[in-house]
Chains A and B, each alone.
Chain A
Amino acid sequence: MKGGTKLDKIYLDNAATTKMSEAAIKEMTRCMNDYYGNPSSLYTVGQQAKEIIEKAREEIAGVINASPKEIYFTSGGSEADNQAIITAAAIGKRKGKMHIVTSAIEHHAVLHALRRLKNEGFEITELPVSKEGIVNKEDVKKAIRDDTCLVTVMYANNEIGTLQPVSEIGAICKEKGVLFHTDAVQAVGHVPIDVKAENIDMLSASAHKFHGPKGIGFLYVRKGIIVSNLIEGGAQERGKRAGTENVPAISAMAVALKEAEAGMKENAKKLTALRDYLIKGLSGIPHSALNGDAKKRLPSNVNFCFEGIEGESLLLLLDDKGICASSGSACTSGSLDPSHVLLAIGRVHDVAHGSLRLSLSEETTKEELDAAIKAVKETVEYLRGFSPVWRDLNAGKLQFIL
């Protein structure tokens, strides 16, 4: 990998996290050295730190066409998702509207926050997705009722990378007068977003997905929506998120986002070509299939299922070959269930078990992908070599699905 790291690794797990950009690291250390003041302090050293975060707020707002007052810094995407949902739920409850529409492929930060609301008496409609992993906007329209207080549908899926019809859903929600939140953690910094044009009321983002630091993110909330607190205790973030601001991380996030925005068009073009090259290479493995729409997906995301093998053993063997990847297999989840996203697009348990996500970055090279394709082919073949499932499939005792 470029950038001076000594590890001889092929890092293909950029949907999990990205390596910080040099500019972001530089900005972070600069702030640590020079702006140690508490932004709430009234003396100069404090106010200088305050200026740093306000400049960052302005820059971040500019990237998504929001106004600075609509940006709230959080500890990351999960906190932003939780706060958006709690905010909409509180508004809904006051009006007696306790119905929320979401999709079956949301991140757990959304699904689990909604599960909690369900226990508190909210009704949740989880919309199915097509076999390509995309929410149907007509389904959203049909699901909205008089007592619906929120529609929350992600911008881009974290596992299969599919881009959702956000602006269409935004238009529907605007017409129906329902709040629309989108978890854009995988999208911000990677695809152009305009909260005004797309009628987005609330949006969550996380810095470490676009080469910024971990532990920092932001929530955009359209002006006029009363934000509910998750954390009480101070006047920070206009009283909506207590806790002394993480000045270095906030500023580094803004630097990373500006950098991502500046390179977005060029990177998307380059990555799309690399992504399609990788998809083509992996498609050469028999009884495999791409998960998610082939085109309506993030330029960086590739996700495959390989029949007859299990994902965790694939990941461990790829790690031995220096390749960092991810899987939606039950065995990697810490629970016994495979990925809810793969199940939602109709992959049965056995097939969902053998999934592999490779997510690229701007630093990924064609040579790295050639090495990855070769390694995946060899490893899948090796694991199939002693898989009783593969034996039964080949013997005709089981039917091939892929």
Chain B
Amino acid sequence: MALYSEKVMDHFRNPRNVGVIEDADAVGEVGNAKCGDIMKMYLKIDNDTVSDVKFETFGCGSAIASSSMATELIKGKPLSEVRKLTNKAVAEALDGLPDYKMHCSVLAEEAIHAALDDYESRTGKKTE
């Protein structure tokens, strides 16, 4: 049995939406103080919808795959829906993660929520 599902390996080898949005409307950066992984999400928001998203990640295969999958899940989605994104949804979309790698999907959820928080503080709008 391989360490990761084929989907994780696909998103790890060919990460979607990698990079930076220089004029992002929202940026969220989170880190897992214990394991050391760091994730950064850049969002472009138009009409309360995520029109573009990019990420940068310092971390293991599942951290990179989780970031990539999370960007796919939120791209084109209204903020109210993005707010509801859970780590479970990210892990499930990846056909599962090993138990000891679940915290990578948590990091993806947190990075997106941090970006939404940033958007709220920049604009005064609510994303709930």
Q: Is B36 an interface residue (CB 8 A)?
A: yes
**Beta-carbon contact of A329 and B60 below 8 Å:** yes
A329 to B61, CA, bound (A): 12
Asked if A331 and B18 make an inter-chain contact with CB atoms under 8 angstroms apart, the answer reads: no
Residues of B in contact with A, size category: 20 to 34
Q: How many residues of A contact B (CB 8 A)?
A: 27
A331 to B15, CA, bound (A): 19
Q: Given A386-B15, A386-B18, are A331 and B58 also a contact pair (CB < 8 Å)?
A: no
Q: Which residue of B lies closest to A311 (CB)?
A: B60
Tell me whether B119 is interfacial, beta carbon within 8 Å: no
Binds A, one of B37-45, B72-80, B84-92: B37-45
Determine if B58 and A387 form an interchain contact, defined as CB atoms under 8 angstroms apart.
yes
User: Which residue on A lies nearest to B101, using beta carbons?
Assistant: A331
Contacts of B37 in A (CB 8 A): 310, 331
A13 at the interface (CB under 8 A from B): no
Residue of A nearest to B99 (CB): A334
**Chain B 13-42 per-residue mask, 1 if CB under 8 angstroms from chain A, else 0:** 101001110000000010010111111100
Cα–Cα distance between A387 and B60 once the two chains are bound (Å): 11
A277 at the interface (CB under 8 A from B): no
Considering the chains assembled together, what is the distance between the CA atoms of A349 and B37 in angstroms?
Answer: 10
Contacting residues, chain A, for B59 (C-beta < 8 A): 310, 313, 331
- Determine chain A's interface SS by DSSP, over half rule: helix
Contacts of B38 in A (CB 8 A): 388-389
Given known A313-B12, A313-B61, A386-B19, contact A391–B56 (CB-CB < 8 A): yes
CB-CB contacts below 8 Å: A326-343 with B: 329-332, 334-338
Question: Are A316 and B58 in contact, with the CB atoms below 8 A?
Answer: no
Could you mark each residue 216-243 of chain A with 1 if its beta carbon is under 8 Å from any beta carbon of chain B, else 0? Answer: 0000000000000000000000000000
With A313-B64, A386-B15: A330-B58 Cβ-Cβ less than 8 Å: no
A390 at the interface (CB under 8 A from B): yes
- Interface-central residue, B12, B59, B103, by most chain A CB under 10 Å: B59
Given A386-B18, A386-B56, A388-B39, A316 contacting B61 (CB threshold 8 A) = yes
Tell me whether A388 and B56 are in contact in the complex, defined as CB-CB below 8 angstroms, given that A350-B36, A353-B36 are known contacts.
yes
- Confirm or deny: A320 has a beta carbon within 8 angstroms of a beta carbon on chain B: yes
**B34: which of A313, A336, A350 is its contact (CB, 8 Å)?**
A336
Known: A336-B35, A388-B38. A331 touches B60 (CB 8 A): yes
Interface flag for B57 (CB, 8 Å): yes
Which has the most chain A C-beta neighbours within 10 Å: B18, B29, B58?
Answer: B58
Question: Is there a chain B Cβ closer than 8 Å to A312's Cβ?
Answer: yes
A331 to B63: give the CA distance in the assembly, Å: 10
**Which residues of chain A from 274 to 328 have a CB within 8 Å of any chain B CB?**
308-313, 316-317, 320
A binding-site residues for B, Cβ under 8 Å? 308-313, 316-317, 320, 329-332, 334-338, 349-350, 353, 386-391
Sort A-B residue pairs by CB-CB distance and give the 5 closest, nearest first: A331-B60, A312-B60, A388-B40, A388-B56, A336-B35
